[in-house]
Amino acid sequence: MTQKKKPAVGIDLGTTHSVVAYLDSEGRPTTIHNSEGGITTPSVVFFDETGPVVGKEASRTAAFEPDMIAQFAKRDIGAAAYQKQVGGMELPPEVIEAIILRKLKEDAELILGEVEDVVITVPAYFNEPRRKATQDAGELAGLNVLDIINEPTAAAIAYGVHQKFSPSDEPIDGKETVLVYDLGGGTFDATLMELTSSQYTAIATAGDVHLGGIDWDNRIFEFVAEQFIENFQTDPREDDSAAERLRQSAEVAKMALTARSAYKMHCEYEGNRLRLDITREQFQELTQDLVERTLFTIRRMLKEASRTWDDITRILLVGGSTRMPMVIEALESESGVVVTRSISPDEAVAHGAAVYANLVLSQQRGEPTDLVVKNVNSHDLGVLAVESSTGMPRRKILIPKNSPLPAMGSGGFKTRDENQKTIAVNVIEGGDASGRNATKIGACVVSNLPEGLPAKTAVEVQFQYLENGRLTVDAKIPNTEIQATLEIERAAGLSEEKMEYWEKWIAEGAILTPMADVELAPEEDSDEVNEVDEIEEIDWEDAGEEVDEAVEEFDFEEDSTDSTGSTEPSAEGAPESGFDFSDFSPEGEAQGEKQDQDDQDIEESEFFAAEGTEGTNDSSEVALDGLVTEDSESQQDVETDDSDLANFLNDLE
């Protein structure tokens, strides 16, 4: 008797709503309705005293018990903690996402039986720590995560498969150049793809992980709150419950203005009632800059890909927020292309993920398949070194963003000091020419260098980056046997101890306990990343007087983006993106213990390089011992910053 194959599912894990799908017996992508009967499940968790509640019921409860609600956790994914304490307890975003995924898994099992294998989608512009955190969330939910796939790629796959099943649409004939415009609840992606009947090739991608439908909601929310203050001299935002009610009303108003030209909105707080007529024209005026941000992102992507609007044959709309007339009008006006609306903006991503999940399973079983999916990397991958002429930090890109995967890249560096004992190759993703706004991926250490090694000894570094996120770093001194290799399978993420702790906590019912009473998850090193786009501090030993002098002149201000999408400057004392450049100075190093510390650093460096992924978040222990690049900062480097909003804000300025 033939053993029945377990089905694989695709999950669109959204900021505001999530969807799960599978392939039916004919290979047609099919959405699984949740236990409440809906095709989408609100990505909201209410931590009841008896355990978590996910979905529509949790969303209804948000206005009554806001302190027990976790929502929009996707915007914090990859950070150490969710934006606020829930019920007095600090939770990693992965744990909140895992509880949502577990709900989707249980709903799928009502239809399919036991479900284990899954492909989860992420925004194309997610960096590696965010991708790893999403993968961790799946594992915490009891799922076997086959792969992580970009949301626009999944939508393009869904479009291609839909053409085969739809009686009204012709299958893809020849090659199409498709722009996937993906505006979801919390993130925005734009991806340029080439499609044939069975091959889906990404050409370029760009995005904004802090732009989505909730930012449109927030404009109405702020507008009504200001009107309330003007009329009654009291602010409904000061009360959590009133603020949540107003936020939900703002979302309803946004959806209403999608369907009609005006909407009457009501707001009540402290016995005062406000009735406000909002027109679609007003709404468009309030949010025009948000639409422009999406168009700016697309223009930049087309420029980087050496393409124009004339090269695009089709535009696919993905994400519920693309239903807004202002989005469709702006896109068609800018591109001259009539948008294609033949796929469901809510379901397309999950459908494509389901197709891809079955592709991965078929490949694992050695079964033939004609479907080919090729992606690009969304951020530059490089090495942070020291510019030889200035002593300032300098990023050297080895694999540029939008490189077809798998990709390889190499670069030459030099040692800085005579008789140098170790070399640490610090791998970063994104950021600008000086490493600001970059994400630390790991460090590859070459240790036990021979005595008498002259300064400016050549060092070769090579990257190999696979589609599954695995990065292999090779560093060696040419014409010698001195080398080191580091293999990183998705960077960062929760430690093994924390994964075990939270997995047990979820299995035991995920009951919230105030921080004072809970047995905390195992602590990790204090250098753990607290912001998704930050790099941990790197101790630059023996950087020299030239660095001290340069640092005194090197001062900059950063804009930070909070979890609600605000781009206000950082508050005093808030964590800054990038490096703490004050740590470049060796003045604070204790005297008399340097030699012992050097020996200890070498031992730690050897351990870190050998363990690979075990130490990716502990690389601040590894000194960047004089790795020098001859590259210098050009005007183009100054203007280039591969980070969220950076290019857009620079353009506005």
Averaged pLDDT, 479-483: 86
End-to-end CA gap in the chain: 69
Q: What is the DSSP letter of 5?
A: P
Q: Is the pLDDT of residue 624 over 50?
A: no
Q: How many CB atoms lie within 10 A of CB 491?
A: 24
- Which residue's structure tokens are 């300032």? 392
Max mean pLDDT range (50-64, 164-178, 552-566): 50-64
For the chain, the residue count is 653
Q: Where in the chain is the domain with CATH 2.60.34.10?
A: 381-492+534-556+579-652
Dihedral, 63, 66, 70, 72 alpha carbons, nearest 10: 60
pLDDT in tens, 565-580: 443 333 333 333 333 3
CB within 8 Å of 259: residues ≥ 6 apart: none
- Mind spelling out the 3-state secondary structure of 62-98? CCCCHHHEEECHHHHCCCCCCCCCECCECCCHHHHHH
Q: Is the pLDDT of residue 332 over 70?
A: yes
* Strand, helix or coil for residue 596: helix
Q: How many CB atoms lie within 10 A of CB 30?
A: 16
Q: Rounded distance, CA 257 to CA 263, Å?
A: 7
Least Cα distance to 412 among 457, 445, 465 occurs for: 457
Q: Is the pLDDT of residue 99 over 90?
A: yes
CATH 3.90.1150.10 given to domain 381-492+534-556+579-652: no
Report phi then psi at 176, rounded to 5. Answer: -115, 145
Q: Is the pLDDT of residue 581 over 50?
A: no
* Strand, helix or coil for residue 455: coil
Q: Rounded distance, CA 363 to CA 375, Å?
A: 17
Residues of the chain above pLDDT 90, percent: 59
Q: Is the pLDDT of residue 359 over 90?
A: yes
Please report which confidence band the pLDDT of residue 1 belongs to, taking 50, 70 and 90 as the band edges. very low
What mean pLDDT is reported for the chain?
Answer: 81
Query: 554 vs 564, which has greater pLDDT?
Result: 564
User: Which of the residue ranges 8-12, 17-21, 510-514 would you say has the lowest mean pLDDT?
Assistant: 510-514
* Residue 217 pLDDT: 97
Averaged pLDDT, 211-237: 96
Averaged pLDDT, 164-175: 65
Q: Rounded distance, CA 274 to CA 34, Å?
A: 36
Is residue 426 a contact partner of residue 585, using CB atoms and an 8 Å limit? Answer: no
Is residue 126 a contact partner of residue 99, using CB atoms and an 8 Å limit? Answer: no
Residues of the chain above pLDDT 70, percent: 77
User: Which of the residue ranges 225-229, 282-286, 607-611 would you say has the lowest mean pLDDT?
Assistant: 607-611
* Residue 535 pLDDT: 34
* Residue 463 pLDDT: 95
The domain 1-169+345-371+496-528: what is its CATH number? 3.30.420.40
pLDDT in tens, 232-249: 999 999 999 999 999 999
R_g over Cα of the chain: 25
Averaged pLDDT, 122-132: 91
Please report which confidence band the pLDDT of residue 7 belongs to, taking 50, 70 and 90 as the band edges. confident
Is residue 315 a contact partner of residue 295, using CB atoms and an 8 Å limit? Answer: no
* Residue 445 pLDDT: 86
Q: Is the pLDDT of residue 610 over 60?
A: no
Please report which confidence band the pLDDT of residue 168 belongs to, taking 50, 70 and 90 as the band edges. low
Least Cα distance to 603 among 613, 615, 591 occurs for: 615
Dihedral, 199, 179, 158, 293 alpha carbons, nearest 10: 140
Query: 229 vs 561, which has greater pLDDT?
Result: 229
Tell me which architecture the domain covering 213-285 has in CATH: Alpha-Beta Complex (3.90)
pLDDT in tens, 394-442: 999 999 999 999 999 999 999 888 888 888 899 999 998 888 889 888 8
Averaged pLDDT, 327-333: 97
Between strands 423-429 and 439-446, the pairing is: antiparallel
For residue 406, cis peptide bond before it (omega within 30 degrees of 0)? yes
Averaged pLDDT, 370-379: 91
User: Which of the residue ranges 58-62, 256-260, 474-478, 528-532 would you say has the lowest mean pLDDT?
Assistant: 528-532
Q: Where does residue 417 rank: exposed (0-12), middle (13-18), buried (19+ CB within 10 A)?
A: middle
- H-assigned helices in 113-168: 128-140, 151-165
Q: Where in the chain is the domain with CATH 3.90.640.10?
A: 213-285
Please report which confidence band the pLDDT of residue 197 belongs to, taking 50, 70 and 90 as the band edges. confident
Q: Where in the chain is the domain with CATH 3.30.420.40?
A: 1-169+345-371+496-528
Is residue 383 a contact partner of residue 413, using CB atoms and an 8 Å limit? Answer: yes
Q: Rounded distance, CA 126 to CA 98, Å?
A: 18
Q: Is the pLDDT of residue 144 over 80?
A: yes
Nearest 5 degrees, angle CA 318-CA 320-CA 326? 90
User: Which of the residue ranges 239-243, 542-546, 622-626 would you say has the lowest mean pLDDT?
Assistant: 542-546
pLDDT in tens, 498-534: 999 999 999 999 998 865 455 555 555 434 333 333 3
Is residue 466 a contact partner of residue 408, using CB atoms and an 8 Å limit? Answer: no
Q: Is the pLDDT of residue 72 over 70?
A: yes
Q: Is the pLDDT of residue 263 over 70?
A: yes
Averaged pLDDT, 83-92: 94
Q: Angle between the 128-140 and 93-112 helix axes, to the nearest 10 degrees?
A: 50
